[in-house]
A and B are shown apart, each in its own frame.
Chain A
Amino acid sequence: MHPTCTLSKEDTGSKVDQKLYRGMIGSLLYLTASRLDILFSVCLCARFQSDLRESHLTAVKRIFRYLKGTTNLGLLYRKSFDYKLVGFCDADYAGDRIERKSTNGNCQFLGENLISWASKRHATIAISTAEAEYILAASC
């Protein structure tokens, strides 16, 4: 998803079939178990399931188009004897434009291989970037 692309709730576009959209989101969420690159986009699109508009469906179709172009992209696991656990965590302060909640993302490496990743919107509203990162550090 491009930085200039912002999905919002106050959209006046025409309504679309909810069943189709939910089916698409469901399939994509299943895919995020192996394709971490679409995780953020899918999670963002999944938040609009209750009030659907044409622009949301276009965003989901864009994800499908990206997937079609990168079908043979996958995680590479190399043999290594290095078992050091390393974590990365990052928060996007007030990344959610509707509820002003922060988004957090974290990933863990074991040696040089990626073993775990997550993207989650906070349950509480943080008042500063430091607080957003603090909450994130506690949750990863």
Chain B
Amino acid sequence: MHALLEVRSLEVRVEDKPILSGLNLTVNAGEVHAIMGPNGSGKSTLAQVLAGRESFVVTGGEVRYQGRDLLAMAPEERAREGIFLAFQYPVEIPGVSNVYLLKSALNSVRKHQGLAELDAVEFLALVRQKMKLMQMPDDLLYRAVNEGFSGGEKKRNEILQMAMLEPKLAILDETDSGLDIDALQVVANGINALRRADRAMILVTHYQRLLDYVVPDHVHVLAHGRIVKSGGKELALELEQRGYAWIETEAGGGTAPARGAVTQ
């Protein structure tokens, strides 16, 4: 039996600058992993690489997803195979309505899985139900994707898409950033509602705040392009109290080839 996701010795560069240098991570179905770390430690890079962003160059290591070579798959293929990235900065797409994107995304995933495409009535019923969960007004459905959405609306919209697509592996990149406490609760409730025994989540976050609401099974600290410490949910609390410096010092000791990559 394979792990759902197996990252081994992953090395990634951006414009010749090493960002990830030998990252290892194993995620099993049903688990929620939090990846924490200081700014610039490579958290978002990891999230984007897993989703297939081509501007990052993988120079070493491998990633297996359900036993398959993930890095050989196109971004759309990963999405259809059940990987979902909730973007830190959801992209605005003028001229393409939210409802259109949701529908074509859902139907392309369903088609790939051998399921029948939903007709307009079934689709609307489903999307309305999910929007209620995310406390989103109906009109957001007919507006252009993320265009003119507030920060909170954009983040809710990401979780709405996730709720519609029902991924096997959800990667949430700084989904808590820029949210006030009410919006954070709505988003967290949405995420919790999607926790299932056959679904794994990776929460990428700088702060422990989100983890008060979405309690992880595992917490990892990313520094110098590697995971330098792993633990249970209590590690997040410790980081909240003590900051990241002690871990970086602890992990330093010349083992990290990419120290220059740690920037604010």
Verify that A and B bind, or say they do not.
no
Q: Which residues of A contact B (CB under 8 A)?
A: none
Q: Which residues of B contact A (CB under 8 A)?
A: none
